[in-house]
Amino acid sequence: MKYQSAIVACITFCCLFGLLSADPSMVIEVFRHGARDGKNSPRLNISFPNSGELTPVGMHQHFLLGQALRAKYPNLLTTFDASNILARASDYNRTLMSTYSQVFGVYEGTAGNFDPSYPLNLALPPINIGNVSYNFSAVLPNSSVSIPIQDMELNNDVLLQAGGPACPYADQLLNQNMNNGTLPGEIAQIFNGTLIQLGQIFNVSDFGIQDALALYDALVSCEYNNYSMPGNISLSSDLGKNVSFIYNYVATYAGFGTLQQDQLQSTYLLNDILNKFSSKINGTSNLTFVFYGGHDTTLLPVLGLFNIVTLDCIYKNFFNNSNQPWCVQPLFASHLIFELYLNDSGSGQNTVRLTYNDQPFNACNTTTGNCTFEQFQSFVLQALGPFTPAQYDTVCNRTFGPGPFVVNVPVSLGVKIGVILASILAVMLILAIAWTLIKKKRIESEIPPEHNYMQA
C-alpha cells in the first residue's frame, strides 16, 4: 500500500509537471498601453507636456513585457513569421507605440545579419547619407526586427475600442450611469469630507466626483513618470487611497456597471478569440501568437464577464480589506493571456487557460479542473447572452454591418458627387419617358377611329 501511494504521487507529479511545461499551440494577448502623460484638467490647474501620449516609462514597460513573453513562450516567439504572428492596436499613438515597444522586446536580437558576401552598398537609400556609417552586418542595430502593426480607424474599431466612436450607445449608457445613477451620489455622500478637503487643496469650492476622477488620472500618471504630485498627494496616503477607491468604483460603475455594458463591449473581441481558437483546432489557421494593444476599457468588460474585476470585489478590497490585488482598474501595461493547448498533455482534449497579470484564473469561470475549449466556448456564449456581433451592429446603429471591416464606410466627395449626378440623370430619364408617353397619347387621340391601330 505504501508503494502504491508513492507510485500514485509520482504519476500525479509527472502529470502536473507535464501539464505545466506543455507549450500552448496558440496565445492571444490583450493588453493595456503603458504609462502615459495624464489628461489636462484646467479646473484643477493640472497640465501635462504631452497629454495622453505614451512616455518613455510606458515604452520601457512594454519592452520588458515583450522580453518576458519571449522567455515564457520560446517556441512560439523565436523569430518573426508573418503567417504565424498577428499584431494589432487601436488607433491611438499610445497603443500603437506600446505594441511596437512590446514586439521590439520580443524580437530583439532575432533579425540576424547580412550574409558576409553581401555588398552592403546595395542596401543604401537613393540619397547621399553623408557620414552615416553603414558598414555593419546587422540588418538593424541590436539585430532588432520591425514588424507590421495593424490598426483600424476609431469609428470602425469594434474589436479593441468597442465603445465611443464605434458605438455611441455605449457612451449613452455610461452617461446615464454617471448622471442619473444613484451610486455616484451615494459615494459623494460617503466621501464628503474627502471632497471638501480636496476642494480646499485645489481651491475648487464645488469639488465633486468628476473632479476626483480627473485627479486620480493625474496622480497615477505623475507617480509612474516620477513627476511632482498634484497637491502633494501621495497615492499611499489615506487621502490618496480614498481618491483611488472613488475612481476605481465610480469609473467601473459608469462604464461597466451593468451586465449589458460588459456584454456589449466585449462581444466582438470574445467572438474573435473563439473564432481564432476554432480555426486553430480545425487546422485552418497558422497563427501562433496574437498581440492586441488596447486600453483599460478593452480589458474591463472581459474582466467583468470572467468575474475578475467587479464592483463587488473593488468594494470589499477597500472596506473589508479583501486580498484581491488584481481587482482594480487595469494598471498601465496590464495584460490578459488566453492560451490554447491542442491535445493537452496527450489527453486528447483541447484546453484553454487564462492568466491576468500572472494570476491564473479558470477560463470557464469555475473553481476546479481544466477548461476544455468546448466548455470555454459555452461559457463565453452564455456570458454574452443575447449579444452577437450582429446584435452589436443593431444596437450601435451600424447600418453597413456585419463585421469590423465593412461597417460605416466613409463616403468620399467623389462618391457623393457621383450619387448626385446619377440621381439627376435618373430624374431626367423619368421626365423624358413621361413626355414621350404624353406625346404618344396625344397623337393617338388625333387619328380617326378606323385608323387607330393602337386599339385592339
The reported pLDDT for the residue numbered 447 is 32
Grid cell of 141 as nine digits: 542595430
The reported pLDDT for the residue numbered 411 is 35
| CATH value at residue 43 | 3.40.50.1240
441 and 335 within one domain: no
pLDDT-based confidence at 6, cuts 50/70/90?
Answer: very low
Domain boundary among 384, 405, 426: 384
203 and 284 within one domain: yes
Q: Which residue in 170, 159, 172 sits closest to 95, CA to CA? A: 159
Domain assignment present for 231: yes
When divided into structural domains, the chain yields a total of 2
pLDDT-based confidence at 366, cuts 50/70/90?
Answer: confident
Of 309-323, 351-365, 439-453, the poorest mean pLDDT is in: 439-453
425 and 294 within one domain: no
Query: In the predicted model, what is the mean pLDDT of residues 167-177?
Result: 95
Domain assignment present for 88: yes
The reported pLDDT for the residue numbered 383 is 97
- Over the stretch 67-114, which tens digit does the pLDDT of each residue have? 999 999 999 998 899 999 999 999 999 999 999 999 999 999 888 888
Of 56-65, 112-121, 188-197, 378-387, the poorest mean pLDDT is in: 112-121
The reported pLDDT for the residue numbered 369 is 67
pLDDT-based confidence at 365, cuts 50/70/90?
Answer: confident
213 and 289 within one domain: yes
Domain assignment present for 219: yes
446 and 360 within one domain: no
Domain assignment present for 165: yes
Domain assignment present for 16: no
Query: In the predicted model, what is the mean pLDDT of residues 419-448?
Result: 51
Of 129-133, 166-170, 423-427, the poorest mean pLDDT is in: 423-427
327 and 262 within one domain: yes
The SS3 of residue 372 is strand
160 and 302 within one domain: yes
Domain residues for the domain of 427 are: 414-451
425 and 307 within one domain: no
Domain assignment present for 4: no
Of 256-265, 389-398, 437-446, the poorest mean pLDDT is in: 437-446
The reported pLDDT for the residue numbered 437 is 52
Q: Cα–Cα distance between 323 and 316 in angstroms, integer? A: 9
The reported pLDDT for the residue numbered 432 is 59
Reduce the secondary structure of 215-273 to three states and give it as a string. Answer: HHHHHHHHHHHCCCCHHHCCCCCHHHHHHHHHHHHHHHHHHHCCHHHHHHHHHHHHHHH
Domain assignment present for 280: yes
The reported pLDDT for the residue numbered 12 is 38
Grid cell of 185 as nine digits: 451620489
321 and 257 within one domain: yes
DSSP 150: B
Q: Are 326 and 360 in contact (CB under 8 A)?
A: no
423 and 329 within one domain: no
334 and 194 within one domain: yes
pLDDT-based confidence at 140, cuts 50/70/90?
Answer: confident
Q: Are 56 and 372 in contact (CB under 8 A)?
A: no
Cβ-Cβ contacts under 8 Å for 69 (sequence gap 6 or more) = 29, 77, 102, 105, 106
The reported pLDDT for the residue numbered 355 is 96
DSSP 11-75: HHHHHHHHHHHPPPSEEEEEEE---B----BGGGTB--TTTT-B-HHHHHHHHHHHHHHHHH-TT
Percentage above 70 pLDDT, the chain: 82
- Over the stretch 205-231, which tens digit does the pLDDT of each residue have? 999 999 999 999 999 999 999 999 999
182 has a pLDDT exceeding 70: yes
pLDDT-based confidence at 442, cuts 50/70/90?
Answer: very low
251 and 296 within one domain: yes
Domain assignment present for 358: yes
367 has a pLDDT exceeding 80: no
399 has a pLDDT exceeding 90: no
Domain boundary among 384, 399, 428: 384
